[in-house]
Amino acid sequence: MTKVIGPPRPLLDKIAQQLNLPVGKAHFGSFPDGERLVKVEEDLAGETVLLVGSTGPPVDSNTLELALLADAVRRAGAARILAVIPYLGYSRSERVSPAGSPLACRVIADLLSRCGIERLVTLDLHASAIAGFFSIPVVEVSAIPILSQSLPKFRAGKGVIVSPDAGGIRRATHLASLLGLPLGFAVKHRSSPTQTQVLELWGELHDRDVILCDDIISTGGTLAEAAKIAFQQGAASVVAIATHAVMAPGAETRLKEAGIKRVVVTDSLETQIPWFEYVSAAPPLTETLRRLI
């Protein structure tokens, strides 16, 4: 038998429902000193377990909680553990930059690879090469097809997909090919975690409806800067799609002030921004999980 387990969250329920699987009982809390407290409250002997969790904010606590849950599930006798972690925290620390920094993404990958998880299913990794940091197989599912279905209609011949940085060109190319639209991209410089500068924007943007396509919205600086330059270059409108709405404080205001009128994101994280359009990542994730189980 297969069961779904994890800290309570809507995406877990949707995945369990769509796969028609029971949700296993577990308790999540804290010890008085702040350490995470996790307890599996049913027999999982011989079961295949889909461990669904988030490593979104608070990233450190959620990540450790998942690792502890995986260990508890393994000790409860599960035969197989497939982890579904749509958003991978620390994924932007996938290189040592600036010098003197840790390769944090690798540290997280080591932790998650060593707690009993057999395979990891995730959504739009910041960089696909991150899969190689894990010593377990990683299956990366793309949210671009479902996000593309929620985009507004554009004036014929006027739409253009823009990647707000060089790292996102692969995702933006995927979207552009699905929609049959031309592609542009920005050259971005990040001087600190909160300071982003778009140096240049390539592509024909005059009188165009621009669709910015990114993986993560954190401070909102990347999308806001790209939108500002797009308007300076004559764009008629700017909308944005992104897989993971991390939404650090101030991000919503930054996007609004930059004139971005619509933002389409997935429910990989629990942030709720009233004017955002949320599409569920459950269908593409369950399609992959069905094949794996």
Positions touching ligand R5P (CB under 6 A) are: 92, 126, 164-165, 167-168, 196, 214-222
Pairwise CA distance, residues 228 & 258, whole Å = 6
- Eight-class DSSP state of 130: G
Which CB, 2 or 173, lies closer to ligand R5P?
173
Pairwise CA distance, residues 215 & 25, whole Å = 32
Token pair, residue 84, equals 């579904």
Known catalytic residues? 188
Q: Phi and psi (nearest 5°) for 225?
A: -65, -45
**Per residue, what are the HEC states of 194-230?**
CEEEEEEEECCCCCCEEEEEEEEECCCHHHHHHHHHH
Pairwise CA distance, residues 111 & 98, whole Å = 23
**58 preceded by cis ω (within 30°)?**
yes
The nearest distance, CB 246 to ligand R5P, in angstroms, is 7
Which CB, 157 or 249, lies closer to ligand R5P?
249
The nearest distance, CB 129 to ligand R5P, in angstroms, is 13
Which CB, 151 or 226, lies closer to ligand R5P?
226
Burial code (b: 16+ CB inside 10 Å, e: under 16) for 170-198 equals ebbbbbbeeeebebbbbebeeeeeeebeb
Where residue 259 falls (left for φ over 0; alpha for ψ -120 to 50; beta otherwise) is left
The nearest distance, CB 92 to ligand R5P, in angstroms, is 5
Half-sphere exposure of 263 (CA within 13 A, CB side): 30
The nearest distance, CB 217 to ligand R5P, in angstroms, is 5
Which CB, 20 or 192, lies closer to ligand R5P?
192
The nearest distance, CB 93 to ligand R5P, in angstroms, is 11
Which CB, 116 or 168, lies closer to ligand R5P?
168
